[in-house]
Amino acid sequence: MRLLLGACGPSTPVRVRGISGGDWRSRIKSKSGRMPIDRDEVARKLAQVPVEERFVVRRTAIDAGITRHLVTAMLKDSRLHRSSTRIKPALTAQNKHMRVEHVLSYIDDESHEFESMENVVHIDEKRFNQDTNKRTYMLLDEELHPQRDRKSKNFIPKTMFLAAVARPRYDFHRKCRCNGKIGIWALTEEYVAQRSSQYRPTGTICTRNIESIDREQDNAKPHISPFDPDILAAGLEGGWSIRLIFQPPNSPDLNVLDLGLFASMQSLQYRIPIYKFTDLIDAVDDAYKTMSADTLDDIFLTLQSCMLCILKKDGGNQYKLPHMGKAKLRRANCLPRDLTCELELYKHAIRTLQSGDRGSVLLCGEN
């Protein structure tokens, strides 16, 4: 059949085997076409494939006995989602018990509510890179990528920083809010240039990294005991009451800095292109100052969420952090200051310590 429309105008009626008025839509009232494949059946086939082998669409489709289109359709329908994972520290049974002890030391015995953590200062160090190997830009047509040159992508210059933070709170003495940012310091040293070069003349004061720190102490451990007499005496000077507490070994998720502060600062620092040593120090300082007090307070609340997950996993670190929606709760003035541990979970943690012959809850150290 051929349809000639060369002489037809806008008002010319079209009738071809039941098609009238130019309407080409089907007039079949019931559903027609190929029946959709049951997604529940596809999900059951995918569940038979081990999770460790489900990372490539083609390989997953072959192992499940389905087509690649079905795997893509499951991803599009959110029945299947991609999730990234990172290698976590291996924990021994003793490490898990120490993690449970550390968490219980922040929970009130009667109300089972977390302490406000306003009297705890978190201190940690991190190496900040001047740049990252891969960057993504949004370019218009005929635009080129920015020029980025390094001598080696595997040896990008970096500098170590030491940071100290506390939880933000209202300062009743100064009648203002304390942002909790105590300070951040670059582990660098200044030196005088001995020779002239194309970059600076002789006698210029320059800055460089402290490459190594030599410690001359016979058979000494890298960490001093928190019960050392000199440490205890220094904490009581000037009327203060300061104690040194170590986080459990292999537990970066129990430190506010490793948990989210350094990552937040790194994202702010990467916004600025850096090609000089001093520019990195300025960029990290600016990122530390730019970070808001609400962000720091949210990380402390995330720390309490991690502690609850640690109790549920008997001290393990293979858990999925629940999403609280802190930004939404903060806008509605419904964000809790501290979280509460359920009574059954608290009793279960006590039984876990008793089963491991750890009868007392300590802030640090061993029984």
pLDDT value, residue 361:
42
**Is residue 59's pLDDT more than 50?**
yes
Residue 30, C-beta contacts closer than 8 angstroms, at least 6 positions apart:
none
Say if strands 188-192 and 15-16 run parallel, antiparallel, or are unpaired: unpaired
Residue 17: band (very low, low, confident or very high) from pLDDT cuts 50, 70, 90: low
Burial class (CB in 10 A: 0-12, 13-18, 19+), 54: middle
Domain map (residue ranges) of the chain: 37-85, 93-136+238-355
Higher pLDDT, 366 or 149: 149
**Is residue 4's pLDDT more than 50?**
no
**Is residue 285's pLDDT more than 90?**
yes
Q: What digits encode the pLDDT tens for the residues 65-78?
A: 999 999 999 999 88
pLDDT value, residue 310:
95
**Is residue 1's pLDDT more than 60?**
no
Average pLDDT, the chain: 84
**Is residue 336's pLDDT more than 70?**
yes
- Terminal alpha carbon distance of the chain: 92
Residue 332, C-beta contacts closer than 8 angstroms, at least 6 positions apart:
none
**Which tokens hold the place of 116?**
């406000």
Residue 137, C-beta contacts closer than 8 angstroms, at least 6 positions apart:
145, 146
Whether the Cβ atoms of residue 290 and residue 269 lie closer than 8 Å to each other = no
**Is residue 45's pLDDT more than 60?**
yes
Lowest-confidence segment of 55-64, 102-111, 357-366 by average pLDDT: 357-366
Mean pLDDT along residues 12-37: 63
Whether the Cβ atoms of residue 324 and residue 303 lie closer than 8 Å to each other = no
Residue 29: band (very low, low, confident or very high) from pLDDT cuts 50, 70, 90: low
